């Protein structure tokens, strides 16, 4: 039925659109909440006003980003039912409780303490306020834990049985479901990605202000902290990504075949295709630049290890190659660029030029959005790579969709596109505008106008310039 | 097994509690959004906004718990209701986007504040109206074939669902006005007192209209309300509603600032009891019972551990957050 084909395509487009947009905000707020926790902790420990000022500087930005994350997240919790009702019915007994745990242990925690974090700075003591900041940061992490457990179960389902109604139900306890094979790898890789994304954004902002005034104390501190993160965490991330990839090879081999562009099997060792244009109708990669045997070395740790290609997979079970091939390269390329930035910053530190080397600052500004791009590229790789399934190997995407009329899905998709681009683009503009202002010695808390009551909470700030 | 607790019933109560908590808590802050354009620009609007800014996010989380809890505890109901109410639910979500971002955006861009105030108003209005429509559409019955929704995508639109939509807008506006009476002083509080009285009349009329309409919808409602023992409730309900309404009318102008919102909550409570009598023991009224839609036992137990542990903790720190921001909102706000 062509009508339902269109509805399926539109439903997929809608989910891809709403989740990609949504994912940008948590990717930023997971890292930023932890950064705020570190800043406030340092302020409490050292009493240095520069930390309090940076806290308040980033708190305002956090408030806007978090608000957009909340409203785009509420949309996600209903997308499963509106557009993917068959999937919800079948997978509900497994994914439903995990998402309910996310609400109970994370969303309420974040929301409950966010009010105190944003507006309670003069209402509760410093320690209690710091507790609120920690609670929000912890909430963002717990939220990632549960939602990635859900996502990982869809990628590598374990611990289920199928009941008479065709629903997936727990077979032997929840541990097998939550700690499914890909979950630990995905959790580590994604949370580090969120930290790196935030540190690059913070580093870009610090660099921007260092270019204008290399003596701005706030800009110096944030740039230095961000570059430490890039230098120390990017190598960890590359290692974690590699481990995640090997895990994928084990449990979702056709995803890796598509990532590598391996249409054909290579019994005597597979080449690593650096770049090329995958051509699925002809089952080949055009204009490929490849290094012989390297793919086998990376994936199997042996030059001549055989690697199966998509020719071993029935045609109706293959993921789309072109998108995954390129999204994977974008992610990996940016990962190494981030590592490069971190290493150069170490060099600059050694030569005592960290705050004065304008080319490093320009590079950091250029890399400011790199984390967001890499996160989305990685997300596309793993999600498109799961196709044509919603629950890998068990429930096909075309059997998951709601019985909806195409116009209903089409109109709502258009509405989402218009609303998201106008509202979230405006919010992003506000964030960029706030980032464009240098961190001042007396950052107002969240004071939008009028005299600063916040000056009173940081007497130290007046001494430290 | 006579004493075994039926976890399906427990979960029905938990979901009902989450939805009731949502209606009560987000009700007043959506209500302030609905009243927003009628509040004077400047300090009074800022004060109205500040009175809910620290708590709105937590309030809205109950909506996520209602939706997520329904998926977890009654997956079949979730997968039928959401496609059936596609248009109003998408409208509600988009409305919540517009109003949610306004909390921050209006302060970030004073030059365009009036647009974000409008976005706050329209988003709140649409979300409230869509929630009311959703309730009406559920009550009037939806088409099901097998395990999925089988109706069209405009089925929800009837005079009855429009009536419930308008009713909820009026009810939320009254909650918002009563919240302002409790939390503010001066001109804004006086204004809230002025609008609360006509809104009280409006809500009483709406409750009467929905109550009179419901038994004549298709299905079992007539039987429930006009036969023994339902007739006991039928006979009493109008008395309780009228009494509460009268008390509310009398307390609005008085100095007891917290009484109006308590009485309005009583009106909401009575309405919810009425709804519960109509709907029980179904999860999709007249179509699917809670037992037919229930998740398997192991899912229910696993979640019950989480809910039993977390809901009291959530209520405790939510209560604490409200306590931190207790009392009147100052003129300068706490921004």
Asked if pLDDT for residue A311 goes beyond 50, the answer is yes
**Rounded to the nearest 10 degrees, how much is the dihedral formed by the CA atoms of A177, A182, A184, A190?**
-120
Is A112's CB within 8 Å of B79's CB? no
CB of B61 less than 8 A from some CB of A: yes
Contacts of A453 in chain B (CB under 8 A): 332
Rounded-to-integer distance, Cα B308 and Cα B322, Å? 22
Which tens digits make up the pLDDT trace of A336-372?
A: 999 999 999 999 999 988 898 889 999 999 999 999 9
Rounded-to-integer distance, Cα A291 and Cα B244, Å? 80
When pLDDT is averaged across residues A53-65 and rounded to a whole number, the result is 91
User: How many interchain CB pairs under 8 A, A with B?
Assistant: 245
CA separation, residue A348 to residues A230, A335, A360, B152, B312 (Å): 13, 20, 8, 65, 52
Is A100's CB within 8 Å of B100's CB? no
When pLDDT is averaged across residues B3-10 and rounded to a whole number, the result is 78
Query: Six-digit token pair at B330?
Result: 């100052």
Which tens digits make up the pLDDT trace of A29-49?
A: 999 999 999 999 999 888 888
Rounded-to-integer distance, Cα A181 and Cα B331, Å? 55
Residue of A62, A73, A93, A123 to mutate for B, most B C-beta atoms under 10 A: A93
Average pLDDT, chain A: 87
Least confident residue range of A147-156, A308-317, A445-454, B126-135: A445-454
pLDDT at B330 (0 to 100): 64
When pLDDT is averaged across residues B240-267 and rounded to a whole number, the result is 91
Q: How far is CA B58 from the centre of its chain?
A: 14
When pLDDT is averaged across residues A394-414 and rounded to a whole number, the result is 86
Question: Chain B 176-215, CB below 8 Å of chain A: which residues?
Answer: none
- Contact (CB, 8 A) for B148 and B125: no
Work out the burial of residue B188: count CB atoms within 10 Å of its CB; fewer than 13 is exposed, 13-18 middle, 19 or more buried: buried
Query: Six-digit token pair at B149?
Result: 């929704």
CA distance A76 to chain B (A): 10
pLDDT at A443 (0 to 100): 61
pLDDT at B172 (0 to 100): 95
Residue A444 banded pLDDT, cuts 50, 70, 90 = low
Contacts of B58 in chain A (CB under 8 A): 108, 111-112, 114-115
Closest partner residue to A115 (CB to CB) among B105, B310, B321 is: B321
When pLDDT is averaged across residues B302-309 and rounded to a whole number, the result is 89
Rounded-to-integer distance, Cα B130 and Cα A385, Å? 37
Rounded-to-integer distance, Cα A255 and Cα A245, Å? 10
Least confident residue range of A40-44, B52-56, B180-184: B52-56
Residue B60 banded pLDDT, cuts 50, 70, 90 = confident
- Contact (CB, 8 A) for B41 and B34: no
Domain boundaries, chain B: 7-324
Which tens digits make up the pLDDT trace of A283-306?
A: 888 888 888 888 888 888 888 888
Q: How far is CA A141 from the centre of its chain?
A: 12
Is B149's CB within 8 Å of A403's CB? yes
Average pLDDT, chain B: 87
Contacts of A91 in chain B (CB under 8 A): 75
Is A113's CB within 8 Å of B321's CB? yes
pLDDT at A389 (0 to 100): 92
Rounded-to-integer distance, Cα B55 and Cα A178, Å? 32
Higher local confidence (pLDDT), A129 or B280: A129
Count the helix, strand and coil residues of chain A and give each as a percent rounded to the nearest 5.
70, 5, 20
* Top-ranked range on mean pLDDT: pick from A71-85, B86-100, B143-157: B86-100
């Amino acid at each position: 039925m062509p009508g339902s084909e269109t509805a399926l395509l539109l439903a997929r487009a809608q989910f891809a659109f709403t989740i990609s947009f949504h994912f940008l905000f948590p990717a930023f707020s997971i890292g930023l909440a932890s950064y705020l926790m570190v800043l406030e902790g340092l302020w409490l420990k050292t009493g240095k006003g520069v930390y309090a000022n940076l806290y308040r500087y980033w708190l305002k930005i956090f408030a806007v980003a978090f608000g957009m994350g909340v409203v785009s997240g509420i949309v996600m919790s209903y997308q499963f039912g509106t557009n993917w009702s068959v999937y919800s019915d079948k997978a509900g007994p497994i994914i439903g409780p995990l998402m309910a745990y996310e609400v109970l242990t994370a969303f309420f925690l974040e929301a409950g303490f966010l009010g105190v974090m944003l507006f309670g700075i003069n209402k509760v003591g410093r320690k209690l306020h710091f507790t609120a900041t920690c609670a929000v940061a912890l909430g963002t992490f717990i939220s990632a834990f549960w939602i990635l457990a859900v996502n990982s179960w869809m990628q590598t389902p374990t611990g289920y049985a199928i009941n008479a109604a065709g629903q997936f139900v727990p077979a032997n306890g929840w541990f097998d479901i939550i700690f499914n094979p890909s979950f630990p790898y995905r959790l580590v890789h994604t949370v580090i990605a969120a930290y790196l994304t935030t540190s690059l954004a913070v580093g870009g902002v610090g660099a921007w202000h260092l270019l204008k005034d290399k003596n701005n104390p706030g800009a110096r501190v944030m740039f230095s902290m961000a570059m430490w993160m890039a230098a120390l965490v990017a190598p960890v991330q590359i290692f974690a990504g590699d481990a995640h990839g090997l895990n994928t090879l084990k449990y979702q081999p056709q995803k890796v075949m598509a990532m590598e562009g391996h249409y054909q099997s290579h019994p005597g060792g597979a080449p690593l295709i650096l770049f090329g244009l995958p051509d699925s109708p002809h089952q080949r990669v055009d204009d490929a630049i490849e290094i012989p045997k390297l793919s086998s070395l990376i994936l199997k740790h042996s030059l001549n290890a055989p690697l199966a290609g998509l020719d071993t997979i029935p045609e109706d079970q293959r993921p789309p190659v072109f998108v995954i091939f390129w999204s994977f390269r974008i992610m990996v390329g940016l990962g190494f660029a981030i590592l490069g930035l971190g290493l150069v910053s170490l060099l600059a530190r050694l030569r005592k030029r960290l705050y004065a080397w304008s080319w490093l600052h320009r590079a950091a500004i250029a890399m400011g959005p790199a984390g967001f791009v890499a996160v989305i590229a990685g997300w596309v790789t793993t999600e498109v790579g799961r196709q044509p399934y919603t629950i890998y190997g068990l429930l096909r995407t075309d059997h998951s969709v709601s019985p909806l009329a195409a116009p209903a899905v089409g109109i709502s998709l258009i509405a989402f596109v218009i609303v998201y681009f106008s509202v979230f683009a405006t919010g992003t503009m506000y964030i960029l505008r706030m980032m464009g202002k240098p961190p001042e010695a007396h950052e107002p808390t969240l004071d939008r106008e009028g005299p600063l009551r916040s000056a009173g909470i940081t007497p130290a700030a007046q001494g430290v310039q | 097994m006579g004493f075994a607790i039926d976890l399906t019933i427990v979960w029905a109560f938990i979901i009902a509690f989450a939805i009731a908590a949502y209606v009560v808590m987000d009700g007043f802050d959506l209500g302030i959004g609905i009243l927003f354009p009628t509040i004077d620009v400047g300090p009074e609007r800022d004060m109205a906004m500040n009175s809910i800014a620290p708590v709105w996010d937590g309030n809205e989380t109950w909506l996520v718990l209602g939706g997520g809890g329904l998926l977890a505890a009654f997956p079949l109901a979730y997968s039928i209701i959401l496609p059936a109410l596609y248009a109003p639910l998408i409208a509600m979500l988009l409305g919540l986007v517009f109003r949610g971002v306004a909390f921050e955006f209006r302060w970030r861009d004073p030059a365009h504040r009036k647009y974000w105030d409008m976005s706050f108003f329209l988003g709140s209005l649409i979300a409230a109206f869509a929630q009311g429509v959703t309730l009406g559409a559920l009550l009037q019955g939806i088409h099901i074939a097998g395990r999925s929704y089988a109706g069209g995508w405009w089925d929800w639109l009837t005079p009855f669902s429009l009536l419930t939509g308008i009713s909820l807008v009026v009810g939320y506006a009254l909650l918002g006005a009563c919240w302002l009476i409790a939390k503010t002083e001066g001109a804004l509080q006086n204004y809230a007192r002025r609008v609360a009285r006509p809104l009280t009349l409006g809500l009483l009329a709406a409750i009467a209209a929905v109550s009179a309409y419901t038994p004549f919808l298709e299905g079992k409602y007539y039987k429930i309300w006009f036969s023994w023992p339902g007739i006991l409730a039928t006979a009493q309900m109008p008395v309780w509603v009228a009494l509460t309404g009268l008390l509310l009318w009398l307390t609005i102008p008085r100095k007891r600032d917290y009484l109006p919102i308590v009485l309005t909550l009583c009106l909401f409570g009575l309405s919810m009891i009425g709804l519960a009598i109509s709907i029980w023991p179904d999860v999709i009224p007249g179509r699917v019972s809670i037992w037919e839609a229930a998740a398997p036992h192991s899912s229910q137990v696993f979640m019950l551990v989480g809910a039993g542990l977390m809901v009291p903790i959530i209520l405790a720190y939510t209560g604490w957050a409200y306590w931190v921001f207790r009392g009147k909102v100052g003129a300068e706000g706490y921004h």
